[in-house]
Amino acid sequence: MTEQTLEVSEERFAEEAEGFLAANAELKPEVRTGFGEGSDEIYVLPERTPEQDAIEVGAAKEWAKKVFDAGFGWITGPRRYGGRELPKAYQGIYSAIEARYATPTQGPRGIGLGMIAPTILAHGTEAVKERYLRALYRGDIIACQLFSEPGAGSDLASLQTRAVLDGDEWLVNGQKVWTSGAHYSEIGEIICRTDPDLPKHKGLTGFIVDMRAPGVEVRPLRQMTGGASFNEVFFTDVRIPVDHLLGDVNAGWTVALTTLMNERAAIGGGGGGAPSGGSELRRLIALARHLGVNDDPLIRQDIAGTWINIQVARYNNERALAKIRSGQLPGPELSIAKLSLTQNLRRTAELAAHILGPRMIADSGEWGTFAWSKFLLGVPGMRVAGGTDEIMRNILGERVLGLPKDPPVSR
């Protein structure tokens, strides 16, 4: 890639992007979205078989390589790691053009690009940055996030997975849970306890771990929806090189906060495959008309209230993204975004139950009715992902409203 290519104007960049996409993808066909047409499947998180996962991951990686090699894989990233160091507006230009084309979903890479790569860039050793950043953005590897444990979810600092220094390697033993994409990831960001004698927030360290290393065992977790979107991961004498640190030893809480901030930004904005509520509400309005209950005043009131809350959440998300684009750190907007998302999904699910009644739990074969049951069963999981609703309320209460902190359990 030449210096001249990197100093491209917005107009020339848009022409390059259009040319690349026209040569490598087809324009999206017009999709008919009338009620009763196409699949009526609706869910909070996609649930696929291992075979379906393998096909989707393979397609995502293949497309990512083409995009990266053409100069559009990491438009804003540092040149030394494979980026083009162009302004963030250029990413928006490319994304808007690509949205018109039918390209493979990049959902499997969402966690790696949205949460792990920014953490590596901020806290990784030079060896970690050189080895993994280009590979992540090019689609050579996929990353997962290894934070929660059976006894440490909302209270993440209570985690007990241990890492002990053994010569020029760290020896890791423990268990992580609720890990999305662990079964197809090559690396993971893991937070371990490295000094049990320090206060719980100060004895943690972050690492990049090879998910294919000896001693790593991934087991799927079956959900009440019937799918298995998450995994539990066991580590038995897993060795991590000393240069695979994220941040300083015993300073892993800062590393974790960087990842969590990016996670809440992604989830709150409906990223990572999670719905935001808008398209689901449009489907429910069509369903209410189909069932002849669209004139019911209570249902109309619920539809209006849900729509208003979704729009308020959208404006809050735009405010947070505007701060990020301008180089600022977002404040409580990300906690508001995450809490608003789960509340809007709950409102949408309750509205669906109100409109459908028994049709939601009895499969009559009627299009667009019983399909909502999977959505209803999936919503509670989103109240846990990326920080529970209770944690988000505590953050807002303490940092925005100035309320006193809850007394810690350890006290």
Q: Which residues are catalytic?
A: 263
| 42 to 107, 137, 286, 316: CA distances (angstroms) | 16, 30, 14, 25
Contact 188, 209 (CB under 8 A): yes
Quick one: CA dihedral 392, 262, 386, 355, positive or negative? Answer: positive
CB-based burial, 146-160: b 16+ in 10 Å, e otherwise: bbbbeebbeebbebe
Contact 338, 386 (CB under 8 A): yes
297: CB partners within 8 A, 6+ apart: none
